Structure 1
Amino acid sequence: MARHSYPCPIRWSDMDVYGIVNNVSYLRYLEEARVDFVFRMAPTDGDAFFRDGSVVVEHSIRYRKQLVHRHAPVEIEMWVSDLQSATVAIGYVVRDGDTVYATASTVMAPFDYEAGRPRRLTDAETSFFEKYLEQSAAAG
């Protein structure tokens, strides 16, 4: 299955008082990578998944090595680790070559904001995410 890779810049403001990338910055990195990934769903008219609405259900991050400011971006590699009728789980590895800084996952649900409730994935959304589905993916 395919994986999506996002070169994420590290900003000076991402560091905390100890000189390492702050844990909150990691959430922003994952969000940037996830938005870049999902925009691939409908490249001609924008992001179909977020246009119709979605919510983050859960985040999990395991920090492996301290990341400090640098000029080169860090790679965020992504895949779909679980796909259900109303949720999609995205796996991540934040790395530079063989050096793994963090592994993470996000569970998202499509959401109908007009009705104020979750909705099921459309056939087009399911088809897109299936291309990246790796149910037994090793996180690095």
Structure 2
Amino acid sequence: MQQTDLPAAEYRHVYEFNIRFGDIDSQGHVNNVKFLGYLEDARLEMLHGDPVRKGEQPVRGMVISRHEIDYKLPLLPTVYPIRVETWVTEVRAASFKLAYEVRDDENVYATATSTLVAFDVEANRLRRFTPQEREFIGRYVVPAE
């Protein structure tokens, strides 16, 4: 893991949501495909929503190169909020890995990882992170256990 020049992690990003009726499949639990949507919502809130609220530039020009999800328990309909906790586990010159837990106070329903790559849309090629992006991403770095 290359994170020697990054600041220490401040926290895991926490995104809360309520399960929607349309998320439930014929088996009575949240459909596995919906989990990708939950991860996307949490990731966008972390990379775009939080910075804008703080008066900072959102992280732009990232593409997903990989997702991996492990389903731990069926997620059943509930009136209580579910949350996605997100943090960074690895930072390289042009990519970083996010880890996620989809959970409530008692259970972890899924764990996941995503690899995001910095991308120059106009040039249609990979690019390196800017110093500002590295600083922002570094706020969420939690060393692997």
Give TM-score scaled by structure 2 length: 0.86
Match of 1:110 in 2: 118
Shift of 1:71: 2.1
The amino acid that maps onto 1:90 is L
SS in structure 2 at match of 1:20: coil
Match of 2:39 in 1: 30
Match of 1:7 in 2: 16
| Identical-residue share of aligned pairs (%) | 37
Aligned residues: 134
Q: 1:21·1:68 contact (CA, 8 Å) conserved in 2?
A: yes
Q: 1:8·1:74 contact (CA, 8 Å) conserved in 2?
A: yes
Shift of 1:126: 0.5
Shift of 1:135: 2.3
Task: Report the Cα distance in structure 2 between the residues aligned to 1:105 and 1:94, rounded to whole angstroms.
Answer: 11
Structure 2 residue ranges without an equivalent (≥5) = 1-8
- Point out 4+ residue stretches in structure 1 off by more than 6 angstroms: none
SS in structure 2 at match of 1:18: coil
Shift of 1:45: 6.1
- Structural RMSD (CA): 1.4
Matched, 1:41 2:51: yes
Shift of 1:22: 0.7
The amino acid that maps onto 1:17 is S
Match of 2:26 among 3, 11, 17: 17
Structure 1 residue ranges without an equivalent (≥5) = none
Matched, 1:120 2:120: no
The amino acid that maps onto 1:16 is D
Match of 1:78 in 2: 86
Give TM-score scaled by structure 1 length: 0.89
The amino acid that maps onto 2:44 is V
Match of 2:101 among 83, 87, 93: 93
